[in-house]
Amino acid sequence: MVNQKMEFLVPCIMFLIALGACTQGTKQENNKNDILTTQVDQVKTEIEKWKQELLKGKKIGSLCDYERLGSLAHKKWRDGNPDQMDGLPVDDKEIKAVRSDFNDDNEKDLLLFFQGKNCTGHNGGTQTYAKIIYSNGASKSDLMAEVITVIQSEYNRRREITKNLKEITRSYLETTTTIDGYHNGITGKFRLYTKDDAHCCPSYNGSYTYELKRKNMEIEISNNNQ
């Protein structure tokens, strides 16, 4: 009789244990989904705040889709955005977001970046915009200026060692330096011009990895004249 009861109780106990584990797993999955949803909402909020900051500071023009608009729409955009040549992307999906610890405090910060849209049909590239929002609420809006300055410094350091490298100017660096993403540092591309280079034809193309915490810049350069 005891054996029969045990034979009945064991499957019941195992079922209850499995049910409890399943319920716990469901709760953990729901919590994970809640966290992800919250993070997505936070990113959307930060993107919208940043766009308004850029517009208010007249750092960029309003949304535009130059290739799909006619001449009347182009004129309307120019009238509404005096002194601007580029605008915000129409689709917020073009504004990329990366979460990582950028200041060594063991907390995830947020990097936002995008490339401006050519809204006037001008020649040349468009500026890349970037901002870091730290976990403590502080932010860094001058990231691209810092990246460009450090690229120049690293190039000039190499030039002291490698004598065949030419003297470069800052011309076009603002519109040819990009951010591609984040992999062991902020990564991107750039072009370097000498004072004699035409806009079409920089002397050097390059890529970089910038480790922000330690201000460490690694660059790779290819000579376009060889």
Closest by Cα among 170, 120, 166 to 144: 170
pLDDT at 14: 59
Are the C-beta atoms of 39 and 99 separated by less than 8 Å?
yes
Task: Kindly tell me if the per-residue pLDDT of 58 is higher than 60.
Answer: yes
In this structure, are 96 and 156 located in the same domain?
Answer: no
In this structure, are 11 and 75 located in the same domain?
Answer: yes
Convert the pLDDT of each residue in 139-185 to its tens digit. 999 999 999 999 999 999 999 998 889 999 988 999 999 999 999 89
pLDDT at 96: 95
Q: Which domain holds residue 3?
A: 1-141
The predicted model gives 213-221 an average pLDDT of 93
In this structure, are 37 and 93 located in the same domain?
Answer: yes
Convert the pLDDT of each residue in 46-56 to its tens digit. 999 999 999 99
In this structure, are 205 and 133 located in the same domain?
Answer: no
Q: What domain count does the chain have?
A: 2
Convert the pLDDT of each residue in 72-129 to its tens digit. 777 888 999 999 999 999 999 999 999 999 998 999 999 999 999 998 888 889 999 9
Are the C-beta atoms of 85 and 120 separated by less than 8 Å?
yes
Are the C-beta atoms of 107 and 137 separated by less than 8 Å?
no
In this structure, are 165 and 197 located in the same domain?
Answer: yes
**CB-neighbour burial class of residue 191 (10 A; exposed 0-12, middle 13-18, buried 19+):** buried
